[in-house]
Amino acid sequence: MFEILDTIGTLVFAISGALTAMYKKLDLFGVYCIAFVTALGGGTIRDVMIGRTPVGWMLDIDYVFIITLGFLLSLIFNRYLERLRISLLLFDTIGLGVFTLIGLEKGLEFGLSPVICVILGTLTATFGGVVRDILCNEIPVLFRKEIYATLCIAGGILFFLLQEFAIPKEIISASVAVFIITLRLVAYKYNWSLPIGTVFVKK
């Protein structure tokens, strides 16, 4: 289950990064680089923080193959994906849900507290997108009013709440991923957002 989630998350984040780079009209090398850092940026930061070195993708060449597949799929089906305005959001959202779970699991493997695990899950899910947006000269979604990292935190809390019941681990993981993905799509549809910082500034 963990390996399947990891593969799905890496693939969809690679596609998300590649699509963003193509929308920014980067050359092929630039597109591949953005796909790479989007897919692996969060996991790399997580592994460095918990002292897991060399970081995961350096020990498994399959990550490079998965990212290359996402890069090629983005190139081949770019015309079809461009017709779907929600395609980039969808791939990014799937990656968000899946990588939150991966970060949580890594924290548990290292025997860390639930609070730290939730932080690691959020970092794993969001910081690849942060690096992607910075390299593409965009304000990262994480720092805008759109609900993003908040969903990862909520999903992490749900993960540990469900563990208090006699529920199979696979069901818990699937439920948390669906929770994050569904809630973000609903938030996007109804334009839910956090208040911007200026609401607390006196005029």
Which 8-state DSSP code applies to residue 200? G
The overall pTM is greater than 0.75:
yes
Establish if 112 belongs to a structural domain.
Answer: yes
Establish if 200 belongs to a structural domain.
Answer: no
CA-CA distance, 25 to 162, in Å (whole number)? Answer: 44
Which range of residues forms the domain containing residue 159? 2-194
Write out pLDDT tens, residues 117-141: 999 999 999 999 899 999 999 888 7
Establish if 201 belongs to a structural domain.
Answer: no
**DSSP letter string, 121-184:** HHHHHHHHHHHHHHHTT---GGGSSBS-HHHHHHHHHHHHHHTTSS--HHHHHHHHHHHHHHHH
Establish if 157 belongs to a structural domain.
Answer: yes
Which 8-state DSSP code applies to residue 197? G
- Between the alpha carbon of residue 131 and those of residues 34, 52, 85, 140, the distances in Å are 8, 20, 22, 8
Percent of the chain beyond pLDDT 70?
Answer: 91
Establish if 188 belongs to a structural domain.
Answer: yes
Confidence (pLDDT) at 187: 87
Number of domains in the chain: 1
Predicted confidence band of residue 83 (pLDDT cuts 50, 70, 90): low
Confidence (pLDDT) at 111: 94
Token duo for residue 81: 């994906």
Cβ atoms of residues 99 and 6 within 8 Å: no
CA-CA distance, 46 to 36, in Å (whole number)? Answer: 16
